[in-house]
């Protein structure tokens, strides 16, 4: 079984913000697989599906971004899934808008949601970083990540969401190494 976690913040005020791109990607996967989210028995919602003969669980934490680790840990335990079979998708300030990067493991890179996950389960899990750029004034990072994309970024963002969608499904189908070869 594979688990795909999209990071974001719950609440309408966060819809469409840079920080919620992980939610947008798992929502697109859910739409592709014709499944919908429901309560997950922890601080998350889930959508369960099959893809190319494999079981897949999509997860969206319902606690705030900075507390994502608890949701990931509880989802792994609930579904008896190893970390290596859990792909975490999140926004990354260190990548330009439109850029995606898949990795087998790594540091938090300054991302508080990833730092919390690393604290709860360690850093040995696959992740898919989706670039949101870093065009903000000093001290304005929070405002930036909680803002929508600029009109001139929308086309690239839509392409990166589609690419991340495809990369996540490739992860389920062929594993992290082959997916990295196709999409990095």
Which band of pLDDT confidence, cut at 50, 70 and 90, is reported for residue 50?
Answer: very high
Q: Select which of 19, 80, 111, 165 is catalytic.
A: 19
Q: Which residues pair with 153 in a beta bridge?
A: none
Name which residue leads in pLDDT, 136 or 26: 26
pLDDT at 64 over 90: no
- Per-residue pLDDT reduced to its tens digit, 116-135: 999 999 999 999 999 999 98
Would you call 80 a catalytic residue per the annotation?
A: no
Prediction pTM value: 0.96
Strand intervals (E) in 68-158: 86-92, 100-103, 127-131
For 145, other C-beta atoms within 10 Å of its C-beta total: 22
Do 123 and 136 touch, CB atoms closer than 8 A?
Answer: no
SS (H, E, C) 127-148: EEEEECCCCCCCCCHHHHHCCE
Name which residue leads in pLDDT, 76 or 110: 76
- Per-residue pLDDT reduced to its tens digit, 143-177: 999 999 999 999 999 999 999 999 999 999 999 99
Domains of the chain: 2-183 (3.40.50.1470)
């Amino acid at each position: 079984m594979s688990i795909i976690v999209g990071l974001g913040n719950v609440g309408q005020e966060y819809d469409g913000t840079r920080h919620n791109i992980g939610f947008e990607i798992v929502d697109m996967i859910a739409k592709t697989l014709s499944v919908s989210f429901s309560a997950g028995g922890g601080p998350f919602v889930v959508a369960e599906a099959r893809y190319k003969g494999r079981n897949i669980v999509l997860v969206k934490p319902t606690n705030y971004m900075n507390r994502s680790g608890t949701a990931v840990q509880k989802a792994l335990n609930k579904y008896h899934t190893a970390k290596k079979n859990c792909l975490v998708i999140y926004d990354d300030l260190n990548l330009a808008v439109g850029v995606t990067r898949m990795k087998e493991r790594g540091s938090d890179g300054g991302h508080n949601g990833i730092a919390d996950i690393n604290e709860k389960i360690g850093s040995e899990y696959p992740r898919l970083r989706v670039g949101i750029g870093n065009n903000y004034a000093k001290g304005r990072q929070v405002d930036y990540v909680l803002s929508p994309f600029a009109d001139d970024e929308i086309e690239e963002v839509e392409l990166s969401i589609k690419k991340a969608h495809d990369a996540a499904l490739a992860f389920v189908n062929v594993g992290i190494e082959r997916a990295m070869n196709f999409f990095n």
